[in-house]
Amino acid sequence: MEMNKQLASAGNKRIALVGAGNVATHLGIALQQAGWQIAQVYSRTEASASELGNRLQVPYVTSLEAICTDADIYIVSVKDDALPVLIPELVKGRNGMFVHTAGSVPMKVWKDHAPCHGVLYPMQTFSKQKPVDFSKVSFFLEGDGEETLVQLRELASSLSGLVYDATSEQRMALHMAAVFACNFTNHMYALSAHLLEKNGLPFEAMLPLIDETARKVHDLAPKAAQTGPAIRKDMNVMNKHLDMLADELGLKELYEKISKSIQEL
């Protein structure tokens, strides 16, 4: 019964998706499945706009002027540096609530442009080819007032139970921390795959170790879960590794810096 009430509430709101990249794709699919009405998709490229529009079976446009003027919510998921240029043109002649999904862009980017505005930040890594379980995604919200926050909480709570308020400053810290936890970690996987391939070994052999490392921090603080030669200060092993990395451009220095950071922390 509660779900039916939620769907009825969601169905009364028309959402325009401004952007058709990874975030907009997953968010649009999840919102539609939760009962929200996706009215339109905008992307400046025909390929992206048509791909998401057809997937959601809704109209799509490729010019800002063609974006509908009667949406209740405009969710903007574009590159961070595109927001200041896009916002004045998007808001012109349109009402409704305007939100962006960026982790590192302050809410004040909307100031003096949209009377009703906020931020809907889903902190997750998104790739178009990989489905996302939004019930396990943390959402961080910010609004220009309580009424906006109430609407954002309704929207985010229809997808996930992990919904939090966060200021622009807190969200920037979240985004920075996420770069370390996600983007930098994934780069380490790429370097690991490179070293394994060079030595005729498959990256899949590393997956059980990666999975167990991720599982451990559900129960232990990251500092308590740290293992390896750096935390043990095993210079014998570390020197052997450094010798092996002598011909790898930049990796020897990276190994040394990360090992030092582990020891200092």
Q: What is the pLDDT of residues 54-85, one digit of tens each?
A: 999 999 999 999 999 999 999 999 999 999 99
Q: What is the pLDDT of residues 170-214, one digit of tens each?
A: 999 999 999 999 999 999 999 999 999 999 999 999 999 999 999
Residue 193, C-beta contacts closer than 8 angstroms, at least 6 positions apart: 203, 206
158 and 36 both lie in a single domain? yes
Q: What is the pLDDT of residues 154-169, one digit of tens each?
A: 999 999 999 999 999 9
95 and 223 both lie in a single domain? no
pLDDT at 9 (0 to 100): 52
160 and 57 both lie in a single domain? yes
In this structure, what DSSP letter does residue 203 have? G
Q: What is the mean pLDDT of residues 16-39?
A: 96
pLDDT at 11 (0 to 100): 58
**Encoding tokens for residue 152?**
């954002």
Q: What is the pLDDT of residues 5-22, one digit of tens each?
A: 343 355 578 999 999 999
126: CATH: 3.40.50.720
Domain count, the chain: 2
Of 99, 134, 78, 126, nearest to 13 by C-alpha is 99
9 vs 52, more confident:
52
Q: What is the pLDDT of residues 123-147, one digit of tens each?
A: 998 887 888 999 999 999 999 999 9
> Among residues 143, 166, 189, which one ends one of the domains?
166
61 and 113 both lie in a single domain? yes
Check whether 1 has a pLDDT greater than 60. no
> Among residues 120, 148, 166, which one ends one of the domains?
166
Whether the CB-CB separation of 61 and 46 falls below 8 Å is answered with: no
pLDDT at 5 (0 to 100): 37
Of 67, 88, 77, 89, nearest to 122 by C-alpha is 77
pLDDT at 3 (0 to 100): 36
70 and 127 both lie in a single domain? yes
207 and 114 both lie in a single domain? no
**Domain of residue 232, residue span:** 173-264
Check whether 97 has a pLDDT greater than 90. yes
Cβ burial 50-77 (10 Å sphere, 16+ → b, else e): ebbbebbebebbbeeeebeeebbbbbbb
Rounded to an integer, what distance in angstroms lies between the CA atom of residue 203 and that of residue 223? 26
207 and 99 both lie in a single domain? no
209: CATH: 1.10.1040.20
Q: What is the pLDDT of residues 113-123, one digit of tens each?
A: 999 999 999 99
Rounded to an integer, what distance in angstroms lies between the CA atom of residue 200 and that of residue 245? 16
